[in-house]
Amino acid sequence: MITLALSKGRIFDETLPLLAAAGIRPLDNSDTSRKLILRTSRRDLRLLIVRASDVPTYVQYGAAELGVAGKDVLLEHGGAGLYQPLDLGIAACRMVVAVPEGFDYAAAVRQGARLRVATKYTQTAREHFAAKGVHVDLIKLYGSMELAPLVGLADAIVDLVSTGHTLSANRLHAVEEIRPISARLIVNQAALKMKRDAIQPLLEELSKAAVIHA
């Protein structure tokens, strides 16, 4: 049995067509079912529904051989015990630095001011600002980062943007792109060696499907 861990929402929704192209569909309806383990049309493959940020952990410890996780989540996790052989090109967005309209980010950086930055992505943010030589105090949040600058909790945020609607609705704008983000197929390193015969063909099929859907 091969287990693929993934999160509900956009990752699940955008992975389904790739699985379908490989001839795999869930047997349970993920919208209505409360099951956390879904059987699929392939008897030797099941899906595990977990929180987005927990996917790398399940795969790292081998509770799932495979997973689908955003690069944002993988950067925070660190990637220990994981192969990341395939950029699936799904759930694409950008990780950016954003500030309120009227905040002069360039001037603050130029003056060497110490910036307060709120984010869920403290690892990635720390590396980004360190590489630029910008001094920051990072404030860890678990969601709704856009609120932080509006109530004086932070000068700036590091967050993901796709349409940009959330930023503009909160009178924020992106001042720097940190990196593009998309979801990756991840594989437990030990499992790839032990179960290569089962995993390798699946990787190839998903790789083909990802190219077609790109």
| Interacting residues with ligand PRT (CB under 6 A) | 7, 9-11, 51-53, 70, 72-73, 91, 93, 143, 159-166, 181, 183
Q: What's the closest the beta carbon of residue 27 comes to ligand PRT, in angstroms?
A: 22
Between 98 and 109, CB nearer to ligand PRT: 98
Q: What's the closest the beta carbon of residue 141 comes to ligand PRT, in angstroms?
A: 11
Instruction: Answer whether 75's CB lies under 8 Å from 125's CB.
Output: no
Q: What's the closest the beta carbon of residue 93 comes to ligand PRT, in angstroms?
A: 3
Residues 6+ apart with CB under 8 A from 41: 23, 24, 25, 26, 27
Q: What's the closest the beta carbon of residue 117 comes to ligand PRT, in angstroms?
A: 15
183-214 burial, b at 16+ Cβ within 10 Å, e below that, comes to bbbbbbeebbeebeeebeebbebbbebbeeee
Q: What angle do CA 178, 58, 22 make, to 5 degrees?
A: 80
Between 22 and 98, CB nearer to ligand PRT: 98
Q: Which residue has the CB atom at the shortest distance from ligand PRT?
A: 70
Between 133 and 142, CB nearer to ligand PRT: 142
Phi/psi for 16 (5° steps) reads -50, -45
The whole-angstrom separation of Cα 50 and Cα 191 is 19
Q: What's the closest the beta carbon of residue 111 comes to ligand PRT, in angstroms?
A: 29
Q: What's the closest the beta carbon of residue 213 comes to ligand PRT, in angstroms?
A: 15
β-pair partners for 181? 93
Other beta carbons less than 10 A from residue 79's beta carbon: 15
Between 80 and 142, CB nearer to ligand PRT: 142
Between 111 and 163, CB nearer to ligand PRT: 163
Between 46 and 77, CB nearer to ligand PRT: 77
Q: Which helix (H) or strand (E) holds 208?
A: helix 196-213
The whole-angstrom separation of Cα 146 and Cα 58 is 29
